Structures are given as structure tokens and as C-alpha cells.
Amino acid sequence: MECITISKLENWKKNKKKFAAITAYDFSFSKLFSNQGIPVILIGDSLGMTIQGHSSTLPVKVQDIEYHTKAVRKGAPNTFLLSDLPFMSYYETRQALKNTAKIIRSGANMIKIEGGKWLVEIVKELSNRSILVCGHIGLTPQSFNYLSGYKVQGKEKKDANKLIDEALLLEESGIKMLVVECIPEKLAKKITKNLSIPVIGIGSGKYTDGQILVMHDLLGITEGKKPSFTKNFLSENGSIQKSIQKYIYEVEKGIYPNKKYSF
């Protein structure tokens, strides 16, 4: 697999080429995903639930992300790796710089942080030091207590306008990618159109530049209640390899997510 860079992802947006992304946390799965052609892997704080067995992402620590980023990089040497900064690991600039350095040294190409306007100065400081930053707005799992659970965001006009403003402000501050989670499809389409950087959606319809799913959801091995926007690709395709190939195909062709998996 050729080396994936931020410039390549930016060119894909310009050329309207959609791309698929997925979470991974270890060597074996990251190697499998990379071999099937997944260009972007997220080492997400979702590992708090999928790997560690917690009920949320909040207990995840920086050293957890470091550990899993190192493992994933060994399996996917040419894949673009995006790693989360965990809950309360970037509440002020000095701390954000310190923890970002640890994760970048572990093999990440870019770090991802959740939030809107309050992140502006932190994003600027990271960008000024040539750190690639991905924003994350909409449903932000690290704020699930404040949001009263995992709910669709941006349904009301006032809330939608706020998300649009935050997306533009974050881009102006220096983010090079944006994740929009659990927002209405029309809103995600508008944000994607208004930004010059790649926008990745999860539960936000088919009009974003890329799509991402938690690997356990995609493979149908999530226990308990599953997010309504997730599709079990393994049940239809018989093997993990074929499931990933089908996922990539459906994202690139704009087949997934259809109305059934959108808000």
C-alpha cells in the first residue's frame, strides 16, 4: 500500500474521491485493514469500551493511546494514523503539547480532539508547531455526561448554526481534518461543502468526504445496544477481508450510509 499523507487526503477531497476509515487497536487487525486498502485508521478512545470494558471513553489514559498507537503503526506502516487525545488530556495548551508529543512519537500522523470554540488557542499552538490536528464536533463522546447521553446533535436550527460556525472557526484556527458525529445528513453535507479540509462522518449521512466506523460495529461483534447508523458487513460477506473490501467499496461509491443508516 502506498504511503497515505494529509496532502493525498486533501487531493481526494478536491477530486471528490470518498474514502473509508476504521478504528483499530492492535497489530493484527491494523495489518489486515491496511492490506485490504483502508487508508485511514483511528486509534480511538473507543478502546475504553471495546478493549477495556468500560461503559464510556472517559477512563482512557494517554499511555493507553500511546501503547495501542505503537501496535497499530507496526501493522500499518503506510496508513494514515489518527490518534485520540483522551478525556482531560488537553484542557490547557501546555498539557496538550506535552501529551501530543507522546502520541506523535508513538507513530500517529495526526491527533484528534473533541470540542468547539474553546479549542481555538490550543489548535493554533499545535498547528504552529507543525502538528496535524483533527477536530471532532457533533456528538462528542468525552462530553456524554454533559450531553445527557449519546444523542443526535444539531437537529434544531440554532444548534445546527452553532456547529457550522464551530467547524469554520476550527478550520480557521488550523485543523486539517474534521470528524462530524451523529448529526443530520443535510447539516453534514453543508459543513462538508463549506470546509476546504477533509470531513469524515460517523452517523452523519453519505455526503461527507470520508466515513469511519468502530471496527467492532462493522464486524457485528458489539455487545448490547448498537448505534443505529452501524452496518454489520461481516454477516453479509463471510470473512473479515471481504467485509472490509465491501465497506471500502460502498463508501467510495456513496452506497453506505444510505437513508437507513442516516439521520
Point out the residues that are catalytic.
Answer: 181
Grid cell listed for 228:
443505529
Q: Is 46 annotated as a binding residue?
A: yes
Place of cell 499523507: 5
CA pair distance 13, 198, nearest whole angstrom: 6
Distances (CA, A) of 103 to 22, 81, 108: 18, 11, 6
Assess contact for 133 and 176: CB atoms under 8 A: yes
3-state secondary structure 148-198: CCCCCCCCCHHHHHHHHHHHHHHHHHCCCEEEEECCCHHHHHHHHHHCCCC
Q: Locate 5 and state its grid cell.
A: 499523507
Q: What grid cell was written down for 240?
A: 473479515
- Whole-angstrom CA distances from 8 to 11, 123, 154, 218 are 5, 22, 30, 25
CA 151 to chain centre: 17
Is 14 within any annotated ligand binding site?
no
Q: Which of 178, 56, 48, 59 is nearest to 110 (CA)?
A: 178
Q: How many CB atoms lie within 10 A of CB 150?
A: 15
The answer on whether 64 is annotated among ligand-binding residues is: no
Known binding-site residue numbers: 45-46, 84, 112, 114
Known binding-site residue numbers for Mg(2+): 45, 84, 114
Known binding-site residue numbers for 3-methyl-2-oxobutanoate: 45-46, 84, 112
